[in-house]
Structures are given as structure tokens and as C-alpha cells.
Amino acid sequence: MAFGAKEYYPGYQSHRNLVNFSLDALPALAGQSGPKFVFAHIVTPHPPFVFGPTGEPIEQTFRYSFMDGDAYQGTTEQYLQGYRDQLQYINTRMQEVIRSILEQSARPPVIIIQGDHGPGSGLDYNSFENTDLEERLSILNAYYLPDGADESLFEQISPVNSFRIIFNHFFNTELAILPDRSYYSTWSEPFNFIEVSDLSE
């Protein structure tokens, strides 16, 4: 085992525990008094696939890995099934989490649910041409903004403008709304950014 591998790769059950802990902790934080900023990175629904559609454990046949796309150890069909099943469970849990946060918050909260990337069944880590860019760059970007702040949202908004809109509305800042652009880079050349803002062309 390589140095640090044991700590970095906690294993399937530990991964399940980590995801469920995050989902359980969020409503509890909402009930605490005082203003707060809470950021939670829930490492799912992408691999490793550890949840069935109702949250049940999955029988594992591959080594523990976060890798997807052409580095995923199974077939494309296995990837799609695993992603769908895990997404179904996470969607159910997130609805419960949001409902509980709203119930326990002393005042209407600001909630952003945002993906850092889309699925990776068509991802080639080292090829721009062979990657399904629409799949990889399409993310969930959902907002709960009280006090009329949602009126500032627009259809093509990207994460670069999320907090600009929130700060402008709730804290009276005057931050400029930036162009909503998307970029892709390969694993081997992570700082060679290729603009792919308009995937419909």
C-alpha cells in the first residue's frame, strides 16, 4: 500500500457513513441559534457507488475509487445504473434535509444546492474531443432565496454569479454580474483551459 493510501481511501462503508453524516448534520445546524454560513461538500452521486435507490448498501466488486469516465472500472451500463440508483437516494434525502432546514430555521434561510460537475459516463480524462462535454458540464444549480432575491436569477446563471446576486440583494453590495462561461481542461493539462460556454453549437 502506498504512503497515505489508507487514510485517503477510507473504504465503502466509511464513505457511506461520511455522506449520511453530512446529510444528518445539516438540519441539526439549522436549529442552532445565531447567524451562520454552512458549506457542505457531499461527495455523491458520482463514484464510488455505495447506495442503492433506497439507501441500501451495494455489493462491491471493484476497488474503492472516486474515478469515473474512462477510468471507471466497470462498464458504461454499470456506471449509468449506479449513478441513477445513488441519485435517487440522494434526491430523497435532500428533500428531507431541505424540509427540515426550513422547519427549524428561525428566519427564511438562503439555500444553494450546486453540483461541481455533471456525470462522467462519457468523460475521457485526457481528451477534449472524446468527452461528452454537455454531460460533464451540466450541473444541478438550485436556489432557495427569500425576500424576492430569486427575482435576480436568470436561466443561464453559473456558479460564478451565485454569491454576487446574494450579496447584492442581502448585503447591499454592488458586485458586477460576470459573464457565465464554462471551461474544460484535461487531467494531464489541468491549466490549459478550453472555453466551452455554448454547448448548443
- Chain mean pLDDT for the chain: 92
Q: What is the pLDDT of residue 9?
A: 54
Kindly give the pairing relationship between strand 141-144 and strand 183-184: unpaired
For residue 68, CA distances in Å to 10, 98, 160, 175 come to: 18, 28, 25, 36
What residue spans of the chain are helical by DSSP H? 5-8, 12-30, 76-104, 133-137, 162-170
User: Beta partners for 195?
Assistant: 183
pLDDT beyond 60 at 4 = no
According to DSSP, the residues that pair with 112 across neighbouring strands are: 143
Angle formed by the axes of helices 12-30 and 76-104, to 10°? 20
What percent of the chain has a predicted confidence (pLDDT) above 70? Answer: 94
* CA-based nearest residue to 64, from 16, 12, 1, 18: 12
Q: Would you say residue 3 has pLDDT above 90?
A: no
Distance CA 109, CA 117 (A): 25
Quick one: which of 180, 31, 52, 160 has its CA closest to 107? Answer: 31
* φ and ψ at residue 158, rounded to 5 degrees: -115, 170
| HSE-up of residue 27 (Cα within 13 Å, Cβ side) | 16
Q: Residue 145 above 80 pLDDT?
A: yes
- What is the domain partition of the chain in residue ranges? 1-107, 110-201
pTM of the shown model: 0.88
pLDDT in tens, 61-92: 889 999 999 999 999 999 999 999 999 999 99
Contact between residue 129 and residue 136 where contact means Cβ atoms under 8 Å apart: no
